A and B are shown apart, each in its own frame.
Chain A
């Protein structure tokens, strides 16, 4: 079974600054995907970024990038130039290739961007 751990229940950052959210996971699988999902207050959960485990290059989506360390089983999310609209719960999630589309979520990190 897989586990996903987010060690920071809450974080805050000043607008325009950079923040990094941590995620570690435990698995015996070799082929898997990792995701960061964003859930704004009272709004739907949306995918922020996705990383395939077989890719060494870290995924990047505009202001969002990851630091994927496969050996260390670490998958952190960096948000650059933070905006007020980035205020949300962020969930790290794991998906094994042989488990269909089942996601294992971390406990979440509540991020507050301050003006």
Chain B
């Protein structure tokens, strides 16, 4: 059974049109992460939530925002997608220490 579920798996948007990606988890982990992964590259951490505390990576563009309304859900909002934002977006969860559990990812295409 999937433990970290991302929706949609595939998202096509137009240049500048806002998009929201969602992540839900059944593990009750207190930490949730959003990674951006471009083709054949390592995942790059955008931000993470430790419980309700939001932690932004220094080089994450302002165009990327996140919300975590409760323990189970986390959203990634891209306010004005550019062509360079086309990527796979990975959600992951964990306890305070230990293994990260990843979702299958949401592939974003920007036209």
* Residues on A facing B (Cβ under 8 Å): 35, 37, 42-47, 50, 89, 91, 97, 100-103, 105-108, 110
Contact = CB atoms under 8 A, between A and B. Distances in A.
A108 B88 CA distance: 15
A99 to B, nearest CB: 10
Contacts of A103: 45, 100
B40 A101 contact: no
**What size tier do the contact residues of chain B reach?**
20 to 34
A97 B102 CA distance: 20
Interface of B: 4, 31, 40-43, 45, 48, 50, 90, 92, 94-100, 102-105
A105 B43 contact: yes
Contacts of B96: 100-101
A42 B94 CA distance: 22
A53 B100 CA distance: 18
11 contacts: A44-B105, A91-B42, A97-B97, A100-B31, A101-B31, A101-B48, A101-B95, A101-B97, A106-B42, A108-B41, A108-B42
